[in-house]
Chains A and B, each alone.
Chain A
């Protein structure tokens, strides 16, 4: 079943065109990886799909589960099952992770006319997902991302993903800033949470290393704002050996 279809997407940031005709189809059960050099438009792709203010779609469409994605506000996209993992997770002083996550989960449930989870039910879920990412519950009592190391921020993002249980995760450089152990833990977390027949993942990354843990079904090379080459996992290996210039030229 088709989950996300992007057709001829053009997008600008501050009137500067970044995406120039990106097309991509992601089906349920698939893991896709977008790789590409700096400035190719990788992060912009994530932000445009997530609905970040300032990222303007000038042409093209994106259909998520049969819905016009661009007609939805960012919080509606999230509630519809789209999770955007941030390259630089944002610090929210004064708001604890647990408060934030309970608000987020119950907002999403409200969007689907579901009753809120009770405090007890939520804590059980939070403990389960924190354990999956080997995150101490005390960390989740602290303000969102404040004082977290790079690796802790990324693991916290994966805990968020586990609790919110999205259909499609777009993960923007989840591997950046991770040491080898944290990389493996995050990779295993992504597999445990998202490697399911009714879910899909779009990994945005520079490197092969995350793909050793989360094996992609398809690899795309993004250059100059559009996909210039697509293939299987072997494409990522070829990129690692030959560089973007060699493969995408």
Chain B
């Protein structure tokens, strides 16, 4: 793609095109091939800009990717994964945005052969007038039976002026397929916040505790779980 995209392109619909212009042209995605039966793990902390990763998982390969995105004006993470027979792809993602920032995670998972699994769990926290979007496409090729593709996308809005978009897209050409997707957008439980306050916890700290609990599961089992949780906690506290 050589020309700057417009909002008409679905995958750029919620992007900050002004910020994108300063980053254009984007570098090519980092391309990684995980050999048959091999394993790959990666933790990405994106503090702004566009990060692109393209994975090819050969038969029986396994990849685990965790991303933490704290938008500095504009943060976008693009992940593509192409899954061969019996491959296993796991993505756990967290994005935090405030002010007028834009954060987005865009994923394309292609199940091109049978019996591959993909599991994506993304948690967004958006405050101020920021926008947090998740666009997740799962493509299942003809003949890729036994596919199991799961997406769980949840967003927490800290202010009524913040915006979250969750857009799952399924394109399925095989018959024997399990593809689940769930998304929910909400705000912090006021009863919970009062309960914490009634025990002496300051409002900002109470919010941080509840948000930490909200995002924590996205990093469950990550190789660098402690580092990611700590970085997310620091970013959350800066956000509140």
Contact = CB atoms under 8 A, between A and B. Distances in A.
Contacts of A52: 194, 198
B213 A95 contact: yes
B237 to A, nearest CB: 13
Interface in B190-238: 190-192, 194-203, 205-206, 209-210, 212-214, 216-217
Interface in A154-182: 160, 164
A73 interface: yes
Category for how many chain B residues contact A: 20 to 34
Given A92-B210, A100-B209, A78 B191 contact: no
B209 A78 contact: no
A107 to B, nearest CB: 5
A16 B205 CA distance: 32
A103 B217 CA distance: 21
Contact of B200 (A91, A95, A111): A111
B209 A103 contact: yes
Nearest to A82: B198
A128 to B, nearest CB: 18
Main secondary structure of the interface of B (DSSP, over half): helix
A232 B74 CA distance: 67
Interface residues of A, number: 32
Contacts of A200: none
A89 interface: yes
Contact of B202 (A75, A93, A101): A75
Interface of A: 50-53, 73-75, 77-79, 84, 86, 89-95, 99-101, 103-105, 107-108, 111, 143-144, 160, 164
Given A75-B202, A91-B192, 8 more contacts: A50-B198, A52-B198, A75-B198, A90-B195, A94-B210, A94-B212, A108-B200, A111-B200
